[in-house]
Structure 1
Amino acid sequence: MMEQTATSGNLSRKVISIAAGEAHTLALSGDGKLYSWGRGTFGRLGTGSEADQPFPVLVKFFGSDADREEKLRIVGIAAGAYHSLALAGSVFVLNLDPFLDGQIGGTGENSLVPCLLEGFLGLGPPGSATKDYEMQNGKPLKISSVKAGGMMSMAIDSLGSLWMWGNFPHPLQSQSVEGQIALVSSASPVPIWNFHGHTVVKVACGNEHVVALVSAGETYEANDLICYSWGGNNHGQLGLGDNESRLSPEVIEAFNLGSPWSVYEISCGAYHTALLALSKGSSDILESVCFTFGLGDNGQLGHGTTQSLLSPELVHGLPQNTFLTSVDCGLFHTCVVSSAGDVWSWGMEKGLGLCPDARFTGTDSGDASSPLLIPCSGMYSPRFQEPLQVACGAAHTVLVADSGYKIWSWGRGRSGVLGNGKMVDCYAPTISLWPTLVEDFKEQDSNNARPNENYREKNPEHNVEMEKRLSAAMEEMAVLRSKLSVMERYASMLHGSIFGKPFQEQEIPPSIQSSGAFDIAKEWDNMLESSDQGKLLRLEMFYKDMLASVKDKLLKRRIQDIVKECLKSTAARSTG
């Protein structure tokens, strides 16, 4: 890949963070702009409507106020099941979709556009901590990061305190009945005081449970993080050795202060948890490992079985001497990425996250109970060039690679959640439409106009014409992508009915890929020659079934014709 320079133009094309919800995806660009795509119901995309978006669109926070929009810089993003969070550089959080349980704060009603969460305007813990912080740093306390999952939202402030809102397990207000925890609903941020005097460094949550990395002392130092968990635990997702729910945070003993492992990344699925850790006794930073625990019904723990685990266990299917840079959990699948560009996934339907109604058929079907390598189909195959982060939704996975300048996605593609302009499932990584068409037009226009800047300033109609061209091109692209999506769905259904598995891009005949010409007789012979016994038998069965259906239809039509002829003859005799 060509070396990128840190210009504003390049920053707008570079993704620095991604997040995935149930069926939507968020991307944060280097210039502080937020893009969203996928399912739009409940306003989770922040576009002003509930329409689905099949490719990335810019989220506007101040509508037509161009000046405020240009000055705004988003520094953090998060996605829950049906809501989104965006963090700006001041003491407020911008929210998309105030959903029924108030997980993004505010009124508790749906919002189709970003709204300010005013619960943080008076931010500050009790006592003198806030005043001390402001005196020492000369600035007010701010939110430093946001996180979301299920129906809840979380934030960590610059003092290291944790805040939660939505539908979440509150240590003081939640109740437990017969092992089940009753979650608390709050439309406003609530501080979690259990870690007062310590620094919450990272936090993750599933549908009902929370996992946090917290400093042993007041401030964070290397290798002194302790892992806590609390909330629902009916599948062992807290990693505490049993399936009893916890109202208050408890230390996961495998990762206490005396643990040989130093946890540096955490992620929660609906009912399972994954962590990345380094050995404290090793001087080699490449020796990182992955631990999982919780629900294992679909192989999402990666231990070769579908059993649930009450305590953390190492995932042994990953290569040794590899540094794992990112981990994320979907609804029923898990994915990790190495610094070398290898991507492994495990769990529901070959680790792709695909839900039961989108399963493979035949011998290729089934969940992956051990890590599977997800190959890149590009020139660096099977590795992805310079990967940054992976994010898992309910049934899809998104990967940022090429130092942030390229997005790959795979899994369930309905509602356009893969960002490739299509609505079909992808069983192998596919390139998302990034950068957006708008950015490409801007760059082209900028390159063409550089020698003529004075002309542009004196002729504002140039900008109007550019907007018209851009609008027309985007409309044409939308029509073409809609037609392409319909054609792909038809081809996929036809291919699936014949061969028993979805159509994949690499199965396109070479003659079409190279020249566009297609010798159907030659390609048919080539396909038969390369088919194994099972594929040939399936073709024979499909041919016999089709032939029988055609003969049956012909017979029915012949009978209908005979009946019609008889009726005409009878009618003629009666009138005669």
Structure 2
Amino acid sequence: MPRVVLVPSSLSHSHSSSAVSSTAPLPPAAAQMPPKVVAVAAGEAHTLALSGDGEVYSWGRGMFGRLGTGREADEHVPTAVAGGGSPRPRFVAVAAGAYHSLALDDEGSLWSWGYNIYGQLGYGEENSPFPCLVERFQDLGSPETLQAEAQNSGTQSSLKLSSVKAGGMMSFAIDTLGAMWMWGNCPQQTDAGEFCIAASSVPLPVWDFHGHTVVKVACGNEHVVAAVSAGETYTGCDLVCYAWGNNNHGQLGLGDKESRSRPVLISGFGEGSSWDVYEIACGAWHTAVLTNKKSFDVDLESRCWTFGLGDNGQLGHGTTATICSPQPVDGLPTGSFLISLDCGLFHTTVVSSDGEVWCWGMERGLGLCPDASFSGVDSGDALRPIRVQSPETNGFKFLGPVQVTCGAAHTVLVAGDGYRMWAWGRGRSGVLGRNQTADSYIPCVVMWPPLDENFQEIREDRAQASTSGVNDQNSAELEQKLSAASEELQFLRSKLTLMERYANILHISIFRKPLDERTLPRSLQESPVFDIRKEFENILDTADTDELNRLEIFYRSMLSGVKDKLLKRRVQEMVQECIVSLSAGRQTP
């Protein structure tokens, strides 16, 4: 059966330079909120972002077609994944392996692209630079009915998927009935019952979880961790953890280094545990788990547990020791909930509900390899969690945190409730999405929202000209336009970032809370004039007693500082006047 391929519209027709220059301005209706990022995923050196309108954007290294743009060129800014089918799929989930990508559409169908030497795309062995439909799932029913259907010739409905995950050279999917499937270079069992890693381009069901619901799955280079319902269905707080695969560093959390070909329950996260599992992540050879204390108290107590390889401090326990059983990470915030977790090759990152981001592992928790490292007193691996400073608030809290994802040597944070992304780490191939290739040791703004259609047309025309060998005046003009547009866009976005930072600091100084565009005063939304006195009076009217007391202390301290400064200045003036007077007196005969 032939594969369905999404062909990019940029390859179905050509754009002339006159068409680019004569494009009419966008109508006022287009001046709306930018697309919201609802999910991100990172591979070895590429990142995927899913917007709320169902589009997938990618950037970073393009080798093997992992970006899904129809070519292998690097992309230094978020670029729309190729598409043009009719109707165009509306994607609802994304996942990234080392060199391949997956996306799930709203009809429960799976699309994949990129590197495919081990069959991790779910079809054949050839790489694909375009999203292709994984038709194997179209031919399958649920695992519960596979055996029965194999005995009769009746037709069966296609399998619908609810989530996808990728890691290393393997891929996973969970169907709408809670069954789990795997393909690519996966842990398997030989006919003799021994552990092995074997390639398969055909999705294989994981029968061990029959009668339970698989809710989450994470995978490293050669190991897998799954969060599964203790009972038949998931009730929201009854997940237990299973692990299998390569265990040469204790990354399965089973207390030893023996590899497993079938899922084994991690005793620390079984039914008898006092902790509820709600998030899991795998690095190359280590694993991290977020749990919540089982308690009837209103306050939630979340903890991060790690195990496996610790050579670069990626476990966060203060040592480089390898640990074979789950151990909690000390030094993380206890007064807020940990909402997101991910692992790179040799680093780990968590995000709290109040916007604090913590990293640990290789090269100060950035994941940077030694060829792109710090120097001086800050050099070396972070053996314990380090807070990442936010350029936005000039402190340690990001506004509106959503999700974090880690690549091999970079990290991407979705903040601003989905309207802003920050990235840091190794920048080669444009993996930080800021139109540069330099490394960044601090969070920098990803160029989001995506480039408009005019700018994308220029980029596509340049790509077509380079692939077709065109080297004439038109190609030179396109290159010049692209360079000029890119520089202008980068300049404007850097200015916007600076102004937003200034506005937020100013807003905190006046109103004692961060700036949030969702709660902007109506007077500012409907008028160019902002009456600070009136808005401050409104805040006083709605503030409780504790807030009023804090405001009084804050402004009394400010007033005291002003009075003290005025007094010092007056004393200086009096001393100066006295000196002048004495000097004049001595000169008098």
1:57 and 2:79 aligned = yes
SS at match of 1:264: strand
- The one-letter code sitting in structure 2 at the alignment partner of 1:228 is Y
1:254 and 2:277 aligned = no
Return the alpha-carbon distance in structure 2 between the equivalents of residues 251 and 127 of structure 1: 22
1:68 and 2:90 aligned = no
Contact 1:286 1:323 in 2 (8 A): yes
Contact 1:171 1:249 in 2 (8 A): no
- The one-letter code sitting in structure 2 at the alignment partner of 1:184 is A
- The one-letter code sitting in structure 1 at the alignment partner of 2:334 is Q
1:26 and 2:48 aligned = yes
Return the alpha-carbon distance in structure 1 between the equivalents of residues 325 and 318 of structure 2: 16
SS at match of 2:130: coil
- Size of the alignment, in residue pairs? 440
Residue number in structure 2 paired with 1:99: 116
How big is the shift at 1:170?
2.5
How big is the shift at 1:123?
2.4
Contact 1:438 1:470 in 2 (8 A): no
1:296-343 Cα distance to aligned partner (Å, 9 max, x none): 000000000010100000001112122000000000000000010000
Return the alpha-carbon distance in structure 2 between the equivalents of residues 440 and 29 of structure 1: 20
Residue number in structure 2 paired with 1:48: 70
Return the alpha-carbon distance in structure 1 between the equivalents of residues 411 and 368 of structure 2: 10
1:109-124 map, 5 Å: 109-124=126-141
Q: Structure 2 stretches of 5 or more lacking a match?
A: 1-28, 150-155, 457-476, 492-496, 499-589
Deviates more, 1:107-116 or 1:283-292: 283-292
Contact 1:38 1:417 in 2 (8 A): yes
Residue number in structure 2 paired with 1:169: 187
1:194-239 Cα distance to aligned partner (Å, 9 max, x none): 1011100000000010000111121111322111000000000000
Deviates more, 1:281-290 or 1:314-323: 281-290
How big is the shift at 1:475?
4.8
1:36-67 Cα distance to aligned partner (Å, 9 max, x none): 000000000011111000000001233xx4x5
Is the alpha carbon distance of 1:417 and 1:225 closer, same or farther for their aligned partners in structure 2, counting shifts above 3 Å? same
Contact 1:80 1:150 in 2 (8 A): yes
SS at match of 1:376: coil
Is the alpha carbon distance of 1:482 and 1:401 closer, same or farther for their aligned partners in structure 2, counting shifts above 3 Å? closer
- The one-letter code sitting in structure 2 at the alignment partner of 1:21 is G
- The one-letter code sitting in structure 1 at the alignment partner of 2:43 is G
TM superposition outliers: structure 1 runs of 4+ over 6 Å: 129-132, 172-175, 439-442, 469-472, 479-483
Q: Which one of 379, 385, 393 corresponds to residue 407 of structure 2?
A: 393
1:476 and 2:484 aligned = yes
SS at match of 2:273: coil
Residue number in structure 1 paired with 2:340: 326
1:268-321 Cα distance to aligned partner (Å, 9 max, x none): 000000010000025244311100000000000000001010000000111212
Return the alpha-carbon distance in structure 2 between the equivalents of residues 375 and 57 of structure 1: 28
Cα RMSD over matched residues? 2.9
Residue number in structure 1 paired with 2:451: 437
Deviates more, 1:425-434 or 1:273-282: 273-282
1:125-164 Cα distance to aligned partner (Å, 9 max, x none): 35548999xxxxx996410000000000000000000000
Is the alpha carbon distance of 1:248 and 1:114 closer, same or farther for their aligned partners in structure 2, counting shifts above 3 Å? same
Is the alpha carbon distance of 1:212 and 1:105 closer, same or farther for their aligned partners in structure 2, counting shifts above 3 Å? same
SS at match of 1:169: strand
SS at match of 1:78: strand
Contact 1:174 1:182 in 2 (8 A): no
Return the alpha-carbon distance in structure 2 between the equivalents of residues 31 and 12 of structure 1: 10
Return the alpha-carbon distance in structure 1 between the equivalents of residues 37 and 490 of structure 2: 26
SS at match of 2:400: coil
SS at match of 2:232: coil
Contact 2:140 2:157 in 1 (8 A): no
How big is the shift at 1:68?
2.4
1:104-126 Cα distance to aligned partner (Å, 9 max, x none): 11121111111111110122235
Give TM-score, length-normalised by structure 2: 0.70
1:420 and 2:420 aligned = no
Is the alpha carbon distance of 1:130 and 1:387 closer, same or farther for their aligned partners in structure 2, counting shifts above 3 Å? farther
Is the alpha carbon distance of 1:126 and 1:431 closer, same or farther for their aligned partners in structure 2, counting shifts above 3 Å? closer
Is the alpha carbon distance of 1:164 and 1:222 closer, same or farther for their aligned partners in structure 2, counting shifts above 3 Å? same
Residue number in structure 2 paired with 1:156: 174
Contact 2:250 2:307 in 1 (8 A): yes
- The one-letter code sitting in structure 2 at the alignment partner of 1:16 is V
- The one-letter code sitting in structure 2 at the alignment partner of 1:431 is V
SS at match of 1:121: helix
Is the alpha carbon distance of 1:115 and 1:371 closer, same or farther for their aligned partners in structure 2, counting shifts above 3 Å? same
1:234 and 2:235 aligned = no
Is the alpha carbon distance of 1:161 and 1:282 closer, same or farther for their aligned partners in structure 2, counting shifts above 3 Å? same
Return the alpha-carbon distance in structure 1 between the equivalents of residues 247 and 30 of structure 2: 46
How big is the shift at 1:418?
0.4
Residue number in structure 1 paired with 2:297: 283
Contact 1:349 1:368 in 2 (8 A): yes
How big is the shift at 1:436?
1.3
How big is the shift at 1:182?
2.2
- Percent sequence identity is 56
SS at match of 1:399: strand
Residue number in structure 2 paired with 1:302: 316
Contact 1:11 1:31 in 2 (8 A): no
Is the alpha carbon distance of 1:10 and 1:163 closer, same or farther for their aligned partners in structure 2, counting shifts above 3 Å? farther
1:12-51 Cα distance to aligned partner (Å, 9 max, x none): 6100000000000000000000000000000000111110
- The one-letter code sitting in structure 1 at the alignment partner of 2:98 is A
How big is the shift at 1:172?
6.5
Contact 2:414 2:421 in 1 (8 A): yes
- The one-letter code sitting in structure 2 at the alignment partner of 1:89 is D
How big is the shift at 1:11?
7.0
How big is the shift at 1:416?
0.2
Q: Which one of 214, 230, 238 corresponds to residue 216 of structure 1?
A: 230
Contact 2:138 2:159 in 1 (8 A): no
SS at match of 2:417: helix
Is the alpha carbon distance of 1:322 and 1:482 closer, same or farther for their aligned partners in structure 2, counting shifts above 3 Å? closer
